[in-house]
């Protein structure tokens, strides 16, 4: 395998659910020689869907990593490939994959174009600055429409999409594609699994259309490069294909353009060309900006590491998996070298870790390595205290790389062990799952004696339950799913006092804090340059030393603890600005504990005076339904307290976008199928939190 970093590509396949990501990956593995028999998602035999749950459901749940070789001409490239899930419940898998990738292949359904989850994934890639190429897949599907899908990339994503291929036919007539750079038609046959590519002249009936698309492609590429633009204005015939390729590569790496390809992974059409395009247009590790971090001892001091094996070692943990051989920790190495048996530092917690084994991964299989270096994605065994988002580095040159942001869970349910033996196994199993999945939370409710698990959706929690019972052999009973409500204040309150005073002989306790509270949004906090942490913005407004400086953090801690445990129904209080404006202390009796209590008392009293409300999570729901059922579906959404934001007719299919409270959406997929004869589909993602109507608020609080 090549070790020259210019011959390495770290890419991911990402898209909306059912756009064909895993099938694309399966074909790539076959053409690169990593597998010799292709599996199919619908048969439950896909290589990258190695979990039993994935094979049964035909969806990807965990992102899977693999390394494969790809040769263009005489040059061999090394492709580190990650297949990610499309279901919104597993958005964390996409998030952590994009964080460590250098480029991505965004896959779109040839009939549907840009779908709801496509937009979410696209925004995640924007946030991490990941260059992309686009594949309009499923061109063999009945109703596939290349121009519609291509235009949806431009309009719905606002992307500067540039088609470098167009299809020969579509739907049942789809045969192959036309390469607009070289103006050649290429055809594949399913008899040899698409391994043989037949090249021909552009069909006569498509020549005019191809010329028109090619003219547009050249014009759009020249707009991206000043020297080419000059040639285009004076003499377009002097522009060569290598010049166009170089200009498009540069613009793609800078995310000013997104090349668009076509194909059908199921029918083996066009996948080798996707690999070629990934090599031609997506960056190698050295073409990405230096990775940024901060000094461990001084978080304000910025540090960076170049993508070079000569620089000090630095890597990011992006996935942890419990394995028979021990815990597998996936790393993206940004700089330096890593050898088997070496000791590295985790600057996040200050621990030194031992890398006992080093592997190059191939989905469920692995190859042992002695040493690896910058730009590689590998898995190691031996780390005990490193979790997703942690940095690993050279102990002599510490750096903390930027951490990942994990979304807050929106749904929870209680889980009870069946026996005393299960109780012991449950806590260990939950710890293991928590290490693997940062979007999963678990906590023990002292009042009810219940263990509460929280996640990103019904499917997420169902899969965790199945994992506990089937894979970890823990006997559990689960309660009904519950919504993760939040509390907030509706008004403001000024100068509310919290006095904690106890005198029981000997030294007493005395803490006195006076606070103002007011609602605040994340945008307002950012404008005021106040840190809104866990929903509470704390402002120290103490002047004249009425409270000694050493007690102010205690007041803040007390306020934050009170906010976390809730006031109305035990749900966390969010979007509150708390200013500590006054107080008093006692020379002998004041203590940190006393001021923690005073802060908590003042906060609770102030929130009551300001007026409390319950916030419920609102989901963005996108329903794709035949137009005949539009009335049924929209009426049902209204009955669930939903609000339709947009309705778009695409042929005979209606796309409905709505906002609906999560509490009204339990079991929605089943009822949607029954009201549309199984012909509609839906996807949802968290949108925002909104105040609940008083009648419903009282019902929820009565159930607590």
- In which residue are the tokens 């008392």 written? 601
Residues 304 and 265 in one domain: no
Q: Are residues 568 and 556 part of one domain?
A: yes
Instruction: Kindly state whether residues 141 and 247 are assigned to the same domain.
Output: yes
Quick one: pLDDT at residue 445? Answer: 63
CATH number (domain holding residue 101): 3.40.50.300
Contact 680, 672 (CB under 8 A): yes
The residue that leads in pLDDT, 431 or 209, is 209
Segment 91-130, tens digit of pLDDT: 566 776 778 889 999 999 998 888 767 777 887 788 888 9
Which pLDDT belongs to residue 63? 45
pLDDT attached to residue 53: 44
Please report the pLDDT score of residue 35 as a whole number. Answer: 56
Question: Rounded distance, CA 133 to CA 280, Å?
Answer: 10
In this prediction, residues 623-644 reach a mean pLDDT of 92
- CATH number, position 323: 2.40.30.10
Q: Are residues 575 and 632 in the same domain?
A: no
Residue 544 domain flag: yes
d(CA 100, CA 98): 5
Mean pLDDT confidence for 403-413: 72
Number of domains within the chain = 5
CATH number at residue 480: 3.30.70.870
Asked whether 152 and 136 are in contact (CB, 8 A), the reply is no
Residues 6+ apart with CB under 8 A from 48: 22, 25, 26, 29, 60, 64, 66, 83, 363
Contact in structure between 149 and 176 (CB atoms under 8 Å): no
User: Which among 610, 636, 664 is the end of a domain?
Assistant: 610
Pick the last residue of a domain from 484, 513, 533.
484
Q: Is the pLDDT of residue 465 over 50?
A: yes
Cβ atoms of 222 and 239 within 8 Å: the answer is yes
Same domain, 258 and 323: no
Backbone angles phi, psi at 398, to 5 degrees: -70, 145
Report pLDDT for 3: 66
User: Using one digit for the tens of pLDDT, what is the confidence trace for 5-14?
Assistant: 899 999 988 8
Q: Indicate whether 471 belongs to any domain.
A: yes
pLDDT of residue 505: 65
Bigger pLDDT: 649 vs 561 = 561
**Has residue 460 been placed in a domain?**
yes
Entry pTM:
0.69
The pLDDT of residue 489:
94
pLDDT at 92: 64
With cut-offs at 50, 70 and 90, classify the pLDDT of residue 364.
low
Quickly state the pLDDT bin for 55 (edges 50, 70, 90): very low
Mean pLDDT of 590-603: 94
Q: Any idea what the CATH number is for the domain that residue 640 is in?
A: 3.30.70.240
State whether 592 and 637 are in the same domain: no
Identify the CATH number of the domain in which residue 496 sits: 3.30.230.10
In the predicted model, is pLDDT for residue 263 greater than 90? Answer: yes
Is 539 strand, coil or helix? strand
d(CA 155, CA 152): 5
C-alpha torsion sign, points 437, 443, 444, 445: negative
286 within 8 A of 307, measured Cβ to Cβ = yes
Q: Is 221 a member of any domain?
A: yes
Torsion of CA 399, 402, 405, 406, to 10 degrees: -30
Q: Would residue 406 count as lying in a domain?
A: no
Among 434, 457, 484, the domain boundary falls at: 484
Long-range contacts of 669-677 (CB under 8 A, 24+ apart): 671/636, 672/623, 672/625, 672/633, 672/636, 675/629, 675/632, 675/633, 675/636, 676/625, 676/626, 676/629, 676/632, 676/633, 677/629
Q: pLDDT tens across 498-530, in order?
A: 999 987 666 788 999 999 999 999 889 888 888
Measured distance CA(149)–CA(346) in Å, rounded = 45
pLDDT single digits (tens) 160-197: 999 999 999 988 889 899 999 999 999 988 777 878 88
Assigned token pair, 219: 């014009």
Same domain, 599 and 524: yes
Which whole number is the average pLDDT over 47-61?
40
Q: Are residues 280 and 325 in the same domain?
A: no
Query: How many Cβ atoms are within 10 Å of 441's Cβ, its own excluded?
Result: 17
The pLDDT of residue 60: 37
Q: Are residues 19 and 84 in the same domain?
A: yes
- 507 inside domain: yes
Same domain? For 674 and 578 the reply is: no
pLDDT for res 407: 67
What average pLDDT score do residues 232-250 get?
92
Same domain, 300 and 274: no
Which contacts of 120-127 are long-range, i.e. CB under 8 A and separated by 24 or more positions?
120/88, 120/91, 120/685, 121/14, 121/15, 121/16, 121/84, 121/86, 121/94, 122/157, 122/159, 124/91, 124/94, 124/95, 124/98, 125/14, 125/98, 126/255, 127/98
Tell me the residue range of the domain where 534 lies. Answer: 488-610
Q: Are residues 235 and 250 in the same domain?
A: yes
Q: How confident is the model at residue 137 (pLDDT cuts 50, 70, 90)?
A: very high
Within a domain: residue 589? Answer: yes
């Amino acid at each position: 395998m090549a070790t020259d970093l210019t011959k390495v590509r770290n890419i991911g396949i990402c898209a909306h659910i059912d756009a064909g990501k895993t099938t694309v990956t399966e074909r790539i593995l076959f053409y690169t020689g990593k597998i010799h028999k292709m599996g199919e998602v619908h048969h439950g035999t896909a290589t990258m869907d190695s979990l039993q749950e994935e094979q049964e459901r035909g969806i990807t749940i965990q992102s899977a990593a693999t390394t494969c070789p790809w040769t263009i001409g005489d040059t061999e490239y090394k492709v580190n490939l990650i297949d990610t899930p499309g279901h919104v419940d597993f958005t964390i898998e996409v998030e952590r994959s994009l964080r460590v990738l250098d480029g991505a292949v965004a896959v779109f359904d040839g009939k549907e174009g840009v779908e709801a989850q496509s937009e979410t994934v696209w925004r995640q890639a924007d946030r991490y600055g990941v260059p992309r190429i686009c594949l309009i897949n499923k061109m063999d599907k009945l109703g596939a429409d290349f121009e519609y899908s291509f235009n949806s990339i431009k309009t719905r994503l606002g992307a500067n999409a540039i088609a470098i291929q167009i299809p020969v036919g579509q739907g049942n007539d789809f045969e192959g594609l036309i390469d607009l750079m070289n103006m050649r038609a290429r055809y594949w046959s399913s008899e040899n699994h698409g391994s043989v590519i037949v090249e021909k002249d552009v069909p006569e009936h498509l020549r005019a259309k191809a010329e028109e698309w090619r003219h547009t492609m050249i014009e759009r590429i020249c707009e991206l490069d000043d020297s080419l633009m000059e040639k285009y204005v004076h003499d377009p015939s002097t522009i060569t294909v290598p010049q166009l390729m170089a200009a498009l590569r540069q613009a793609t790496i800078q995310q000013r353009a997104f090349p668009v390809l076509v194909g059908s992974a199921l029918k083996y059409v066009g996948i080798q060309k996707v690999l070629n395009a990934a090599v031609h247009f997506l960056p190698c590790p050295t073409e990405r900006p230096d990775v940024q971090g901060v000094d461990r001892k001084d978080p304000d001091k910025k540090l960076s590491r170049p993508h070079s094996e000569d620089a000090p070692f630095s890597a990011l943990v992006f996935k942890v998996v419990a394995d028979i051989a021990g815990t597998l920790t996936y790393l993206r190495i940004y700089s330096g070298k890593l050898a088997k048996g070496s000791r590295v530092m985790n600057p996040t917690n200050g621990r030194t870790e031992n890398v006992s084994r080093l592997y190059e991964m191939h989905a469920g299989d692995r190859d042992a390595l002695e040493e690896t270096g910058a730009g590689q994605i590998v898995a190691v065994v031996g780390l005990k205290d490193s979790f997703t988002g942690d940095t690993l580095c050279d102990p002599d040159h510490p750096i903390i790389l930027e951490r990942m942001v994990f979304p807050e869970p929106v749904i929870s349910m209680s889980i009870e062990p069946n026996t005393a033996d299960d109780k012991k196994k449950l806590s260990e199993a939950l710890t293991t799952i928590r290490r693997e999945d940062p979007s999963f939370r678990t906590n023990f409710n002292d009042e009810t004696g219940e263990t509460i698990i929280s996640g990103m959706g019904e499917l997420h929690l169902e899969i965790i339950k199945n994992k506990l019972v089937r894979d970890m052999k823990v006997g559990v009973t689960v309660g009904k799913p519950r919504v993760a409500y939040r509390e907030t204040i509706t008004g403001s309150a000024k100068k509310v006092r919290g006095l904690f005073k106890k005198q029981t002989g000997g030294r007493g306790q005395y803490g006195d804090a006076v606070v103002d509270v007011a609602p605040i949004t994340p945008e307002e906090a950012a404008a005021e340059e106040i840190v809104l942490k866990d929903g509470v913005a704390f402002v120290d407004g103490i002047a004249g030393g009425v409270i000694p400086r050493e007690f102010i953090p205690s007041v803040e801690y007390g306020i934050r603890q009170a906010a976390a445990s809730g006031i109305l129904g035990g749900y966390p209080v969010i979007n509150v600005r708390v200013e500590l404006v006054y107080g008093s202390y006692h020379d002998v009796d004041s203590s940190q504990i006393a001021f923690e209590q005073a802060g908590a008392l003042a906060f609770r009293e102030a929130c009551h005076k300001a007026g409390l409300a319950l916030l419920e999570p609102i989901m963005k729901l996108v329903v794709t339904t035949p137009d005949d059922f539009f009335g049924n579906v929209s009426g049902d959404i209204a009955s669930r307290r939903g609000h339709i934001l947009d309705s778009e007719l695409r042929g005979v299919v209606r796309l409905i976008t709505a906002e609906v409270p999560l509490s009204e959406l339990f079991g929605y997929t089943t009822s949607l199928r029954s009201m549309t004869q199984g012909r509609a589909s839906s996807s949802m993602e968290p949108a925002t939190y909104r105040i609940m109507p008083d009648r419903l608020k009282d019902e929820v609080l009565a159930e607590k």
